[in-house]
């Protein structure tokens, strides 16, 4: 994962602990513009914590995150420097990091008291302070694209899980992020609803969106990802081309994990 001028995301030495529990030991990764990185690994390996640190939802204890936005101006936080100085990371810096990315959550995280349209418009209007009319027009266009325009006035409890997840994706797209983050986007869905969500993510990949996806869907990762990384024990054990690595992993721990995932019984 050597850096290049085309990298949108660069992470070096990322560390995170919760009390005495060291969740991220040292994470190094890069994602080029328009590429898709799939993170795989066992539960508790730190995959979701990586995403939450990238989005500023968790504050890392060490390392560095840099995201080069669409305007080529980089947003970077050196967590080592903050820790060495004994000072918290400035809220402004975390806010700038959050502005560059958008998260699609495993359990949707829609506002239950707001309609579909209101959920999509909330971030761009309230956080980004964009004109309401402009945001509404874009939101309606996005909902039409994913086949949910007829649900714009519905509330989350009136939608299926697959519909709620598609709204979650639209909500992320409405923020116009440089980087899309997906945390197990299909794990909470009934099997028959998984396909619609995966097809939408595949379309976004084909359009050139830069994404980091935590997933257990190996065939999806093989088909969509530019690179796959196996995370275990808070570090990246192995990474590479998904078609090669998922069939012929080099590391024994990766082989054990893939075998257990493919043959659980």
Given CATH 1.10.10.10, say whether it is the number of domain 1-100+181-189+196-265: no
Query: Beta-strand (E) ranges in 33-100?
Result: 36-40, 62-68, 74-78
Bigger pLDDT: 195 vs 171: 171
Task: Identify the pLDDT of residue 73.
Answer: 63
Question: 163 pLDDT band (50/70/90 cuts)?
Answer: very high
Q: pTM surpassing 0.75? A: yes
N-terminal to C-terminal alpha carbon distance within the chain:
34
Domain extents for the chain? 1-100+181-189+196-265, 111-176
Cα dihedral angle (181, 220, 16, 1), rounded to 10 degrees? -90
Provide the b/e sequence for 27-51 (b: ≥16 CB within 10 Å). Answer: bbbbbbbebbbbbbbbeebbbbbbb
Task: Identify the pLDDT of residue 3.
Answer: 39
DSSP 8-state symbol, 161:
H
Bigger pLDDT: 148 vs 74: 148
Task: Identify the pLDDT of residue 265.
Answer: 56
Q: Express each pLDDT in 166-191 by its tens digit.
A: 999 999 999 999 999 999 998 878 88
Q: Express each pLDDT in 208-231 by its tens digit.
A: 999 999 999 898 999 999 999 999
Question: 2 pLDDT band (50/70/90 cuts)?
Answer: very low
Helix axes 161-174, 191-206, angle to 10 degrees: 20
Average pLDDT over the chain reads 92
CA distance 193 to 164: 11
């Amino acid at each position: 994962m050597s850096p290049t001028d085309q990298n949108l995301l660069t992470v070096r030495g990322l560390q995170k602990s919760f009390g005495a529990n060291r969740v991220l030991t040292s994470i190094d990764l890069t994602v080029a513009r328009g590429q898709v990185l799939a993170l795989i690994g066992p539960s508790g390996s730190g995959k979701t914590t990586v995403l939450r640190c990238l989005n500023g939802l968790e504050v890392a204890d060490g390392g560095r995150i840099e995201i080069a936005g669409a305007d080529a101006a980089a947003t970077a936080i050196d967590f080592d420097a903050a820790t060495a100085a004994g000072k918290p990371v400035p809220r402004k810096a975390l806010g700038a990091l959050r502005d560059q990315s958008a998260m699609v959550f495993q359990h949707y995280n829609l506002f239950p008291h707001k309609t579909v349209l209101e959920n999509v418009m909330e971030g761009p209007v309230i956080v980004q302070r964009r004109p309401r009319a402009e945001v509404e027009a874009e939101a309606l266009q996005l909902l039409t694209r994913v086949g949910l325009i007829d649900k714009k006035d519905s509330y989350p409890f009136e939608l299926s899980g697959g519909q709620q997840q598609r709204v979650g994706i639209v909500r992320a797209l409405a923020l116009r992020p440089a980087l899309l983050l997906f945390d197990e986007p299909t794990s909470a869905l009934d099997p028959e609803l998984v396909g619609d969500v995966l097809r939408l993510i595949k379309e976004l990949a084909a359009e050139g969106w830069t994404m980091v996806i935590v997933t257990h869907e190996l065939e999806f990762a093989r088909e969509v990802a530019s690179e796959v990384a196996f995370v275990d024990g808070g570090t990246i054990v192995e990474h590479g081309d998904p078609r090669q690595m998922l069939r012929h992993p080099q590391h024994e721990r990766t082989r054990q994990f893939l075998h257990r995932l493919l043959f659980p019984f």
